[in-house]
């Protein structure tokens, strides 16, 4: 994986996104419904694209929003839509387009009372709060965000009444309805002019910030953080939660410093990721150089991605890798949440660290391993059978003190504040807690990288079954299992995972690029990890020849 010369540095002005052109293309360019790459496509996190590439334009949002209106009518969802947007440049025009269609369909939509930005977890909280105890008039939500993707990208997600990401049984229907509308030149789309939509009686204000901040006392031990005087640094990274930290600090009396409240839709303040692109990925040390710069000034510091569903935690030791923090958080939470069900499980994705398996076993908790995608944790968080659900990409959520659901979507705010609670209650920051886990369970070495893939190779990976995998050894160890379905729910992994006693690898084809992703981990050391990667690439090549 070649590291770009701009990695870890801010970009020169000439390489920043041309915002006027980006917005102009949103309205002026039309996708070709006959081109597969330009149709609506819901991946694990909704429809994403860029107006430059005719993959995220006004016509896409008109079609998707109408499709959501049609879907919810057929599904009997007749409560309000909670709608929020992040700080990406395409989010605001897409928000306006969606509002026009929702108003045109007579759907009640609740938007931020201050006209600001709304984090993903605040929308999930609002949905759950409205639906609690109801059997009718259920609410759902729309999130306009491409998550941590580059500044030229846009994204559009639908959350059903469960409050979490929609599963494929829902997104597949919405996608097909939207593409049919695109193919029909938008015949059937009902909309009002934006000015009329804003004044429509169905468009109503909602205090997302106040309701979210007020509820935090039910999920984080904020008095303990205050009493311990934990010194906290927060870099909002110009994201949708920028206006949330000051009310949190004021309401709960925290020693919390906001290092910058600037919102810049070019994200010029960000340091570039490994490939030279601006990407608000809080797990990347290249992208998080500004956050890492806080490590010697605070007990803990944190930042979140643009829609606030991914967290980045910094301690005096530096940026904590996501798998390390998930392991430490699980160890702490299941020992300090007596209100949770005694059988509440630990949820993890199949490509997360096996350290989590060892921590769960040490706690005497059931481990549930699911495919990539937070949607697989939603039902368990709703009914309390999952105490925690987390992804290797730094996204997680967990239950309230009383064992009820807090957010059924990823919540970077509570994961960030948890790092301060851990420090306050244990006297150790999360990095120190993790070092204790390695002393007990061994030290894993984990890495993810991309490898080139032909269309045939990607197709093979997606259809590969254990019976078609002929190899018996990986990096000098006997292969103990080959999986193409998740152990917990028997859902397809979208690739293959190969396990030995001392390590594993997983290979999944990219849905948008000519690469496949290799995740690998070793408990035998860095050299052994390198052998796993070498063997994994060799196996995939041999299978595809």
Output the pLDDT for position 512: 63
Q: Are residues 140 and 61 in the same domain?
A: yes
Output the pLDDT for position 1: 65
Q: Are residues 359 and 278 in the same domain?
A: yes
Q: Are residues 160 and 35 in the same domain?
A: yes
Label residue 466 exposed, middle or buried (CB < 10 Å: 0-12, 13-18, 19+). middle
Q: 262 is in which domain, residue-wise?
A: 212-441
The 3-state DSSP class for residue 458 equals helix
Q: Are strands 477-478 and 395-398 parallel, antiparallel or unpaired?
A: unpaired
Label residue 77 exposed, middle or buried (CB < 10 Å: 0-12, 13-18, 19+). buried
Q: Are residues 376 and 493 in the same domain?
A: no
Q: Are residues 231 and 194 in the same domain?
A: no
243 within domain boundaries: yes
Reduced 3-state DSSP string for 33-102: CCCHHHCCCEECCEEEEEHHHCCCCHHHHHHHHHHHHHHHHHHCCCCCEEEEECCCCCHHHHHHHHHHHH
Indicate the residue among 441, 472, 501 that finishes a domain.
Answer: 441
519 within domain boundaries: yes
The CATH number assigned to the domain holding 469 equals 3.30.310.50
Q: Are residues 189 and 289 in the same domain?
A: no
12 within domain boundaries: no
4 within domain boundaries: no
Indicate the residue among 206, 235, 261 that finishes a domain.
Answer: 206
- Number of domains observed in the structure of the chain: 3
Q: Are residues 260 and 404 in the same domain?
A: yes
Q: Are residues 427 and 529 in the same domain?
A: no
Catalytic site includes residue 522: no
Q: Are residues 365 and 246 in the same domain?
A: yes
What is the pLDDT tens value at each position of the chain, 545 positions in all?
A: 689 999 999 999 999 999 999 999 999 999 999 999 999 999 777 899 999 999 999 999 999 999 999 999 999 999 999 999 999 999 999 999 999 999 999 999 999 999 999 999 999 999 999 999 999 999 999 999 999 999 999 999 999 999 999 999 999 999 999 999 999 999 999 999 999 999 999 999 999 999 999 999 999 999 999 999 999 999 999 999 999 999 999 999 999 999 999 999 999 999 999 999 999 999 999 999 999 999 999 999 999 999 999 999 999 999 999 999 999 999 999 999 999 999 999 999 999 999 999 999 999 999 999 999 999 999 999 999 999 999 999 999 999 999 999 999 999 999 999 999 999 999 999 999 999 999 999 999 999 988 888 888 888 999 999 999 999 999 999 999 999 999 999 999 999 999 999 999 999 997 666 788 999 999 999 999 999 999 999 999 999 88
For residue 158, which phi and psi values (nearest 5 degrees)?
-120, 130
Q: Are residues 36 and 182 in the same domain?
A: yes
491 within domain boundaries: yes
Q: Are residues 460 and 538 in the same domain?
A: yes
If you ran DSSP here, which 8-state letter would residue 463 be given?
H
Which residues 6+ apart lie within 8 Å of 242 measured at CB?
Answer: 87, 117, 236, 261, 263
For residue 24, which phi and psi values (nearest 5 degrees)?
-60, -45
5 within domain boundaries: no
8 within domain boundaries: no
- Angstrom CA distances, 441 to 238, 478, 498, stand at 38, 21, 21
Indicate the residue among 414, 441, 468 that finishes a domain.
Answer: 441
Catalytic residue among 41, 45, 147, 407: 147
Q: Which of 163, 281, 290 lies closest to 235, judged by CA? A: 290
The CATH number assigned to the domain holding 365 equals 3.40.120.10
Q: How far is CA 387 from the centre of its chain?
A: 18
If you ran DSSP here, which 8-state letter would residue 376 be given?
G
Q: Are residues 74 and 46 in the same domain?
A: yes
Q: Which of 126, 90, 95 lies closest to 197, judged by CA? A: 95
Q: pTM of the full predicted structure?
A: 0.96
Q: Which of 142, 192, 136, 133 lies closest to 166, judged by CA? A: 142
């Amino acid at each position: 994986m070649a590291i770009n010369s701009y990695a870890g540095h801010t970009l020169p002005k000439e390489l920043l996104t041309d915002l006027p052109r980006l917005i102009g293309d949103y309205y002026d360019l039309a996708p070709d419904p006959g081109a597969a790459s330009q149709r609506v496509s819901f991946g694990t996190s909704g429809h994403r694209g860029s107006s430059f590439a005719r993959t995220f334009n006004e016509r896409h949002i008109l079609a998707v929003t109408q499709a959501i209106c049609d879907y919810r009518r057929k599904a009997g969802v007749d409560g309000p839509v909670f709608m929020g947007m992040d700080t990406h440049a395409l989010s605001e025009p897409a928000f306006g387009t969606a509002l026009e269609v929702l108003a045109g369909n007579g759907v009640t939509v609740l938007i931020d009372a201050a006209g600001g930005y709304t984090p993903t977890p605040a929308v999930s909280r609002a949905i759950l709060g409205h639906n609690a105890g109801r059997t009718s008039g259920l609410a759902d939500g729309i999130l306009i965000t491409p998550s941590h993707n580059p500044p030229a990208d846009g994204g559009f997600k639908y959350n059903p009444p469960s409050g979490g990401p929609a599963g494929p049984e829902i997104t597949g229907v919405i996608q097909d309805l939207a593409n049919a509308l695109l193919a029909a030149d938008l015949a059937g789309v009902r909309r009002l002019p934006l000015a009329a939509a804003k004044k429509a009686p169905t468009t109503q204000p909602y205090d997302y910030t106040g309701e979210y901040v007020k509820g935090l006392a039910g999920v984080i031990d904020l008095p303990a953080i205050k009493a311990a005087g934990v010194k906290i640094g927060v870099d909002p990274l110009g994201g949708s939660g920028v206006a949330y930290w000051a009310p949190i600090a004021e309401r709960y009396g925290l020693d919390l410093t906001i290092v910058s409240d600037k919102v810049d839709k070019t994200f010029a303040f960000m340091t570039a990721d490994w490939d030279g692109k601006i990407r608000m990925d809080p797990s990347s040390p290249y992208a998080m150089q500004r956050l890492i710069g806080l490590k010697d000034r605070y007990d803990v510091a944190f930042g979140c991605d643009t829609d606030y569903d991914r967290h980045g935690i910094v301690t005096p030791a530096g940026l904590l890798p996501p798998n390390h923090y998930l392991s430490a958080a699980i160890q702490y939470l299941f020992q300090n949440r007596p209100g949770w069900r005694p059988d509440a499980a630990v949820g993890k994705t199949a490509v997360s660290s096996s350290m989590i398996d060892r921590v769960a076993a040490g706690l005497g908790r059931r481990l549930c391993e699911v495919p990539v995608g937070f949607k697989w944790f939603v039902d368990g968080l709703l009914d309390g059978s999952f105490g925690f659900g987390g992804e290797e990409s730094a996204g997680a959520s967990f239950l309230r003190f009383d064992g009820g659901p807090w957010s059924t979507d990823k919540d970077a705010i509570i994961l960030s504040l948890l790092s301060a609670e851990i420090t306050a209650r244990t006297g150790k920051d999360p990095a120190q807690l993790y070092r204790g886990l390695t002393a007990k369970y061994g030290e894993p070495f984990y890495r993810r990288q991309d490898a080139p893939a032909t269309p045939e190779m990607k197709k093979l990976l997606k259809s590969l079954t254990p019976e078609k995998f002929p190899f018996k050894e990986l990096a000098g160890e006997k292969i103990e299992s080959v999986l193409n379905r998740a152990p917990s729910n028997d859902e397809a992994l979208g690739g293959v995972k190969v396990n030995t006693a001392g390590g594993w690898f997983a290979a999944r084809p990219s849905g948008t690029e000519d690469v496949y992703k290799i995740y690998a981990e070793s408990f035998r050391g860095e050299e052994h990890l390198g052998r796993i990667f070498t063997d994994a690439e060799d196996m995939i090549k041999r299978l595809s020849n």
